[in-house]
C-alpha cells in the first residue's frame, strides 16, 4: 500500500512539473536570472523564446540551452522592451514560431550606479522607467491579450511572472529610481492577479536578493562584500541557476493555485 502511494505520488509530481508542449517567453533571457529561468524550463521539457537586445548574446544563450540536451524548441529574438512597436512585433513573431505562449516572464531590466537623489536627472529617471516599468507593462499586455483570447476559445492557461527586487521592500541609498520601478511592478502584479484570474491566468513576482550577474559585477569589492554580503545568512551571493526551480514550478500545473504572491529568493537577507 505504501509503495503504491509512493508511485502514485511520484507519477503525479512528474506530471505536474512536466512542461512538454508549454511555451515560455523570457525577456532579458540571454543572461543572468533570465538565463537561469530558461534553463529550468528547458530541463523540464518546455519550449523557450528568449528576448534580448544583443544578437550575439542571444545566439550564445540559445547554444547553451540546446547543450542541455532537452527536446524543447529554443529560439531567440532581438527586442527592446521599452519600444511599444518592437514589443508588439516581437510577440507576433513569437507566436509565428511557437503558435502560443503559456508563460511570460517579464525579466528584462537595468540597474544603475549609485546616484544621489538630488543629483538624479530626469533623463536617467525616465530611462529606468522605460525599461523596468514600461517594458514590463508592454510585454505583459501583449501576453495577456493572447492568453485572454485563448481562454475565450476554451484554452484557459496562463502564467505572468515579473522579476522585481528586494529594493521594492528595502531602501537602498542612491537607488530611488530603481526602487520606484520595482515597487510599481509589485503593485501591477497584484492588480493583474485579481483581474486576470477569471481567464485562468496567474500573476506573481519574484524578488531576488543579491545575485551574481553582469548588473552586480560592479559591486564586487571588499567594502560591499563586508557590509552587505556578510549579512546574507547563507554568507554568499546567489547564483542564476538557483532560479531554475522557481521558473519551472511557476510554469507548471503545480502552481495552479499560486497567485498574487511576492516570492523572495534572497538567501534570507530580508530577515537579517
Distance CA 23, CA 73 (A): 9
Q: Which residue has the cell 567594502?
A: 223
Q: Which of 157, 178, 249, 269 is catalytic?
A: 178
Question: Which residues are CB-contacts of 207 (< 8 A; sequence separation ≥ 6)?
Answer: 164, 165, 166, 168, 169, 262, 263, 264, 265, 266
3-state DSSP of 140-181: HHHHHHHHHHHHHCCCCCEEEEEECCHHHCCCCCCCHHHHHH
> Is the distance from CB of 51 to CB of 80 less than 8 angstroms?
no
Q: Could you tell me the three cell numbers for 228?
A: 552587505
Angle between helices 135-152 and 176-195 (to 10 degrees): 10
> Is the distance from CB of 105 to CB of 163 less than 8 angstroms?
yes
Distance CA 88, CA 83 (A): 9
Strands (E), the chain: 23-27, 47-52, 74-78, 103-106, 158-163, 201-208, 262-265
- 3-state DSSP assignment of residue 15: helix
Q: Which residue has the cell 529606468?
A: 128
Q: Is residue 178 among the annotated active site residues?
A: yes
Q: Which sequence positions are flagged as catalytic?
A: 178
Amino acid at each position: 500500500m505504501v509503495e503504491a502511494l509512493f508511485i502514485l505520488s511520484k507519477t503525479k509530481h512528474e506530471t505536474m512539473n512536466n512542461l512538454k508542449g508549454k511555451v515560455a517567453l523570457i525577456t532579458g533571457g540571454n543572461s543572468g536570472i533570465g538565463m537561469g529561468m530558461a534553463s529550468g524550463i528547458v530541463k523540464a521539457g518546455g519550449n523557450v523564446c528568449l528576448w534580448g537586445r544583443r544578437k550575439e548574446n542571444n545566439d550564445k544563450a540559445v547554444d547553451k540551452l540546446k547543450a542541455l540536451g532537452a527536446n524543447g524548441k529554443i529560439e531567440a529574438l532581438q527586442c527592446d522592451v521599452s519600444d511599444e512597436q518592437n514589443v508588439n512585433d516581437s510577440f507576433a513573431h513569437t507566436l509565428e514560431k511557437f503558435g502560443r505562449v503559456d508563460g511570460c516572464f517579464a525579466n528584462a531590466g537595468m540597474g544603475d550606479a549609485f546616484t544621489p537623489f538630488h543629483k538624479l536627472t530626469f533623463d536617467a529617471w525616465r530611462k529606468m522607467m522605460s525599461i523596468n516599468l514600461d517594458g514590463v507593462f508592454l510585454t505583459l499586455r501583449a501576453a495577456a491579450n493572447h492568453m485572454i483570447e485563448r481562454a475565450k476559445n476554451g484554452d484557459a492557461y496562463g502564467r505572468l511572472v515579473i522579476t522585481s527586487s528586494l529594493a521594492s521592500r528595502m531602501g537602498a541609498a542612491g537607488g530611488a529610481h530603481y526602487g520606484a520601478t520595482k515597487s510599481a511592478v509589485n503593485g501591477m502584479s497584484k492588480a493583474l492577479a485579481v483581474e486576470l484570474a477569471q481567464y485562468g491566468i496567474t500573476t506573481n513576482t519574484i524578488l531576488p536578493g543579491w545575485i551574481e550577474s553582469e548588473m552586480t559585477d560592479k559591486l564586487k569589492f571588499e567594502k560591499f562584500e563586508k557590509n552587505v554580503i556578510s549579512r546574507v545568512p547563507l554568507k554568499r551571493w546567489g547564483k542564476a541557476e538557483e532560479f531554475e526551480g522557481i521558473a519551472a514550478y511557476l510554469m507548471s500545473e503545480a502552481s495552479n493555485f499560486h497567485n498574487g504572491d511576492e516570492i523572495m529568493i534572497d538567501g534570507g537577507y530580508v530577515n537579517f
